[in-house]
Structure 1
Amino acid sequence: KCYFVGQKLINEAVGPSGRGKEEFRYQEEGGEEKKTPLYEEHLKLGAKFVSFAGYKMPLSYTSIGEEHRAVRETAGLFDVAHMGILEISGEDAASFLDAVTTNYIRWIKQGESQYAHILDPDGRILDDVMIYCRGGDRYMMVANAVNEKKIWTWLSAVNSGKYLIDRDYPEKEVEGKAHLRDLKDTSSGKDQKVDLALQGPNSLAILKKLTEEKEAKGKLARIRPGEFIETKLAGVEMLISRTGYTGEDVGYEIYLHPEDAPLIWKLLLKEGKEFGVRPAGLGARDSTRIEAGLPLYGHELAGRYDIGSMGAGYGLFVKLHKPYFIGKKRFLEREAERKMEIVRFKMKVRGVRAVKFGDPVVAAKGRYIGHVTSCALVEGIQLGLAYVDRSYVKEGTKIRIFVLPREGKVPPERAKDELILGDKVLLPEEALVLSRFPMPEILSANVERREEK
């Protein structure tokens, strides 16, 4: 068992069993660039492509700005079939998930979802995931595409009982075994799943156009944030959740068999035409999530700056009342030493050279306080996220950003007392700290729903 009263005393008296647990190591694998089941549809729509997480993905179809605006004003349709989709099932599935994630899995029941982080034994984030309860002993987990194989390998390692999950109690294992399946793998047969995302205020009206049944339309309308239904639209079995990565209150993710994805993609664009739907690429997915203050793994979570849950502003999803989850003790130790936090910011003026990941951030009087983690152009002004000293996170704080040359090399400058006529000196651009989340009701919807119960 992962935890029981008196565990520490027993461990001190008996000592660790020393059964030779292996240290988990994951090596990124190369390989041929993959394509989603919608690749041919993207070609027909004239998409501009970019390589992302091992996939050839659409960056945009018209312009990132137009697609961003569609998400906010009408609706945007995203191909997110690159995301990892796993199934965790069996009588010990809930116990397994409670051990490997920071949230409390037993708070959700069938038809509800939950956001959580997966930590390693040292309290560092392996990924942030969404978990959907499809039954008392059956869950679906959606992982970031860049971490798809790593999370599958980690969950399999934990499930095997052969790998170290707790440095203080090396003999520790999860309670029971879960059954794991990769729902994107062909071995899952008819249960295979890929993900589409329909996001924006007209999304519900568009989904309703896929059915003539009054009961089905009613079910769609009753889905609350964080909830989902499993139904059939246009003759296709699918799981429809009111979730997304854009910050929109009205937005849905559609999980269906990869063979059905092209049909539903084309139907949503056709039936949604009168509602202003647009296909949207990764560019708009990034700009909308930045505007909403949502983190991206490798930028606002983990990555170069080793950002944890609390530093990202997501302590809400770390349930410290749980007696145990993998990495909990080390997480608390790291949190006690944390001095930085993610902020959302807006550049003061338009026309500033593109701010990028890693650009230094200084306080109004020039003190170095952190780095930019993400930035995007939204309606002509740059909005971004930065990891900065906690003394400068209050809304309205003035900060400045050194926009470094894109070539990666900062031109050498003379000492200030040695400048001569014509020398150039890099100056920081002004920015303003915004509220951490512009749409707090989206972030807390799941928690508020639990409190209502």
Structure 2
Amino acid sequence: MQRTSLYDLHLGLRAKMVPFAGWEMPVRYNSVQEEHLAVRRAAGLFDVSHMGLFEFTGDNVHLFLNTVAANDVSLLKVGRAHYSFLLDPQGHVVDDVYIYRLEKNRYWMVVNAANNDKDWAWLNAVREGRVCIDPERPWSRALGTETVSIRDMRNPAGGSEMRVQLALQGPRSRDILLALLEPDDALIEPLLEMKRNEILHGRLAGYDLYLARTGYTGEPMAFELFVHPAAAPALWSALLEEGRPLGLQPAGLGARDSLRIEAGLPLYGHELAGPLDLNPADAGFDPYVKLYKPFFVGKAAYVAHEQKRQARLIRFELEEERVRMPRQGDVVVNRKGRVVGAVTSASVDSEGRLVGLAYVQKQVSTRGARLGVFQLDARTWADKPLGELKAGDRVQLHDSIKVISRFLNKKE
């Protein structure tokens, strides 16, 4: 089991540690709901240094990235970033990623911790021509492979250039960063002018880092900080010290999950890939797949799937109180009891309501539609023939849910 450079600090904060994607990570420090609300009302600080970070360099590196990623990398200007997907030739999601353009021929890609090794193997296999990327033209290779280099930024061989991530998320997050700066610091103006999906390089309170206005909580004001792993503990402590008077709290994986569910964001293995083999369009993120590009790995299969797709992801809320939280795989039915889909994730939102995500047939996916959820792991009347039921026997009833807006509309 791996540990981040912040492990001892987590123990000092009495975090509950759990195994996650091969790492020992903090799931919570206090209650998940308290940390959730801190992010929505002030700010939360997350250790996300377990996530993968790859660097791509070389002439025509954008051509290579435009082959392996579904979004259009050619649209990225230096200092900008966007969300994207890696697909395999059959259109299945390899991973969802964030791509940052640091220089003309230098990009970063953040990948999920659980997929780090798989993604590294896939990207290098494509670069080296060891895998088929187009079943219709099995001899074809990705563009730019001759000059592209890929580097794992968490590999100790990177020395002083190593980078890991911290995430500072919430409406007071920029104020906390500003509190670390002297009144005449040159970083103040760029920080105040930063727009969403921008990234810059600078020194923050003496720490050399890259600062990106990105995140995974649905918060419009959110930052991710890329710093050397040896400097991460000191930076973490400095942020907490300056941020506590502004409401900053450390936050664990539990709040990270509840926040992204409330916001309607997908998680690999749940709303992407997973038991239902969902793709970006299934999850409602088709705008990040640019079909006007002549080619990207998985394009043909993705288009074929889209022509037949009859379902979509919804966000829902439970209409009853004191019911069990839905779980991945729970069955969704319409008002007549016909199965129309399945739950992918669920949690508690900022108002204390049970909310979740489910993949359902399009005809029942409109906002305001009322559906039901049956617990997959519960005993039902099917365990005993109806004719044998007696007074006092229990049968399972569905929990009523209502379709709500697909995404949390939180304005800056």
Q: Given the alignment, which residue of 141, 151, 159 partners 2:119? A: 151
How do 1:212-231 and structure 2 match up within 5 A? 212=182, 213-231=184-202
> Residue deviations 1:377-435, cap 9 Å, x none?
223210100011111111000011113447xx768532334422222111100010011
Query: What is the aligned partner in structure 1 of residue 355 from structure 2?
Result: 383
CA distance in 2, matches of 1:185, 1:61: 29
Secondary structure of the residue that 1:215 maps to in structure 2? coil
Larger deviation: 184-193 or 277-286? 184-193
Q: Is the 8 A contact 2:13 2:29 kept in 1?
A: yes
Query: What is the aligned partner in structure 1 of residue 369 from structure 2?
Result: 397
Q: Is the 8 A contact 1:413 1:425 kept in 2?
A: no
State the AA in 1 paired with 2:86: I
State the AA in 1 paired with 2:92: R
Larger deviation: 433-442 or 63-72? 433-442
Aligned-residue identity in percent: 43
> Residue deviations 1:268-304, cap 9 Å, x none?
0000011010000000000000000000000000010
State the AA in 2 paired with 1:41: L
Query: What is the aligned partner in structure 1 of residue 287 from structure 2?
Result: 316
State the AA in 2 paired with 1:132: Y
CA distance in 1, matches of 2:338, 2:135: 38
Secondary structure of the residue that 1:164 maps to in structure 2? coil
> Residue deviations 1:217-248, cap 9 Å, x none?
11111110111111101211101111000000
Q: Is the 8 A contact 1:132 1:140 kept in 2?
A: yes
Q: Is the 8 A contact 1:404 1:410 kept in 2?
A: no
Q: CA deviation at 1:216?
A: 1.2
CA distance in 2, matches of 1:394, 1:35: 44
Query: What is the aligned partner in structure 1 of residue 307 from structure 2?
Result: 336
State the AA in 2 paired with 1:253: E
Q: Is the 8 A contact 2:76 2:101 kept in 1?
A: yes
Q: Is the 8 A contact 2:381 2:395 kept in 1?
A: no
CA distance in 2, matches of 1:46, 1:210: 25
State the AA in 2 paired with 1:225: R
Q: Given the alignment, which residue of 160, 166, 170 partners 2:134? A: 166
Query: What is the aligned partner in structure 2 of residue 439 from structure 1?
Result: 409
State the AA in 1 paired with 2:261: I
Query: What is the aligned partner in structure 1 of residue 92 from structure 2?
Result: 124
1:80 aligns with 2:43: no
Secondary structure of the residue that 2:67 maps to in structure 1? helix
Q: Is the 8 A contact 1:110 1:134 kept in 2?
A: yes
CA RMSD in angstroms comes to 1.4
Query: What is the aligned partner in structure 1 of residue 232 from structure 2?
Result: 261
CA distance in 1, matches of 2:173, 2:149: 35
1:100 aligns with 2:68: yes
Query: What is the aligned partner in structure 2 of residue 135 from structure 1?
Result: 103
Q: Is the 8 A contact 1:116 1:318 kept in 2?
A: yes
Q: Is the 8 A contact 2:36 2:259 kept in 1?
A: yes
1:291 aligns with 2:262: yes
Q: Is the 8 A contact 2:328 2:344 kept in 1?
A: yes
Any unmatched runs of 5+ in structure 1? Answer: 1-32, 443-453
State the AA in 2 paired with 1:257: H
Q: CA deviation at 1:176?
A: 2.5
Q: Given the alignment, which residue of 189, 193, 216 partners 2:159? A: 189
Any unmatched runs of 5+ in structure 2? Answer: none
Q: Is the 8 A contact 1:158 1:174 kept in 2?
A: yes
State the AA in 2 paired with 1:197: A
Using the size of structure 1 for normalisation, the TM-score is: 0.88
Using the size of structure 2 for normalisation, the TM-score is: 0.97
How do 1:269-280 and structure 2 match up within 5 A? 269-280=240-251
Query: What is the aligned partner in structure 2 of residue 367 from structure 1?
Result: 338
CA distance in 2, matches of 1:134, 1:401: 46
Q: Is the 8 A contact 2:39 2:171 kept in 1?
A: yes
